């Protein structure tokens, strides 16, 4: 199973609509997605939920098909209505005849999307945290992932090493058979992880 994730800081200035290119929506979203945005009472959140879903789906597909290119409108997002406040919704992303399972969680000003190649929506290990002052967000995301993956696999997190692009998880001198996706935006860092062999690590989340 392949997994991808994307996190969005909804309070980050670059997420404001007046900071986007006037044709952003037309270039990024298909007709059904644009219609949903127009009628949504939570357009700002839905806008970035669609975008994070597309990013997550792209990362998932890229693992399985390296020739995949990021053409946002080619990733068609189907989501039910988002919760009025914090909460989670389950949907799917369609890409060139392939269906990817999708989960989007909103917690305050943090939005986290996780896509998996398992159309049934197999659970993954996932989490969100914050980068400290002066932190390298990429390193903060790796620390967050190692701290969760170690206990989930019965391993000492201090013995884990995450390196490379796409990221790989190593324990001592051996590479673990897991698929890992890292992301960061604004104040937030995030990860999603699953075992490639189809045996999931288990499901857990840590939201700020």
What is the domain extent for residue 133? Answer: 3-195
Q: Indicate the average pLDDT of the chain.
A: 88
Q: How far apart are CA 132 and CA 187, in angstroms?
A: 8
What is the per-residue pLDDT for 85? Answer: 83
What is the per-residue pLDDT for 197? Answer: 52
The reply to whether 203 falls in a domain is no
What is the per-residue pLDDT for 54? Answer: 98
Count up the domains in the chain and report the number.
Answer: 1
The reply to whether 204 falls in a domain is no
Q: Helices (DSSP H) in 19-115: which residue ranges? A: 24-28, 31-39, 43-64
Which element (helix H / strand E) includes 147?
A: helix 137-152
The reply to whether 111 falls in a domain is yes
Residue pointed to by tokens 């997002």: 77
Mean pLDDT, residues 170-177: 87
Give the dihedral of Cα atoms 75, 72, 36, 207; nearest 10 deg: 80
The reply to whether 91 falls in a domain is yes
Torsion sign (Cα): 59, 70, 76, 25: positive
The reply to whether 206 falls in a domain is no
Q: How far apart are CA 107 and CA 114, in angstroms?
A: 14
Q: Of the given ranges (19-23, 30-34, 103-107, 145-149), which has the lowest mean pLDDT?
A: 19-23
What is the per-residue pLDDT for 191? Answer: 96
Strands 87-95 vs 75-78: parallel, antiparallel or unpaired: antiparallel
The reply to whether 202 falls in a domain is no
Q: Which residues contact 78 (CB under 8 A, 6 or more apart)?
A: 91, 92, 93, 94
Q: How far apart are CA 172 and CA 9, in angstroms?
A: 34
Residue pointed to by tokens 């189809």: 198
What is the per-residue pLDDT for 206? Answer: 43
The reply to whether 113 falls in a domain is yes
The reply to whether 201 falls in a domain is no
Mean pLDDT, residues 194-208: 49
Question: Which CATH number does the domain housing residue 63 bear?
Answer: 3.90.470.20
Q: Of the given ranges (116-120, 133-137, 163-167), which has the lowest mean pLDDT?
A: 116-120
Q: How far apart are CA 60 and CA 203, in angstroms?
A: 18
What is the per-residue pLDDT for 205? Answer: 47
Query: Does the pLDDT at position 120 exceed 70?
Result: no
Give residue-wise pLDDT tens across range 78-96. Answer: 999 888 789 999 999 999 9
């Amino acid at each position: 199973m392949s997994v991808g994730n994307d996190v969005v800081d909804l309070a980050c200035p670059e997420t404001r609509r007046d900071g986007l290119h006037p044709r952003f929506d037309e270039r990024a979203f298909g007709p059904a997605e644009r219609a949903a945005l127009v009628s949504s009472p939570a357009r700002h959140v839905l806008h970035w939920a669609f975008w994070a879903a597309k990013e997550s789906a792209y990362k998932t597909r890229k693992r399985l098909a390296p020739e995949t290119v990021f053409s946002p409108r080619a990733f068609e997002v189907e989501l039910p209505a988002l919760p009025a406040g914090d909460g989670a919704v389950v949907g799917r992303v369609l890409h060139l005849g392939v269906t990817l399972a999708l989960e989007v969680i909103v917690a305050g000003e943090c939005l986290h999307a996780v896509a998996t190649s398992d159309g049934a929506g197999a659970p993954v290990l996932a989490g969100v945290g914050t980068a400290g002052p002066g932190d390298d967000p990429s390193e903060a995301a790796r620390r967050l992932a190692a701290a969760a993956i170690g206990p989930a696999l019965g391993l000492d997190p201090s013995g884990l090493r995450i390196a490379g692009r796409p990221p790989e998880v190593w324990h001592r001198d051996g590479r673990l058979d897991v698929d890992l996706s890292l992301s960061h935006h604004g104040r937030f860092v995030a990860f999603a992880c699953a075992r490639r062999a189809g045996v999931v690590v288990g499901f857990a989340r840590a939201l700020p």
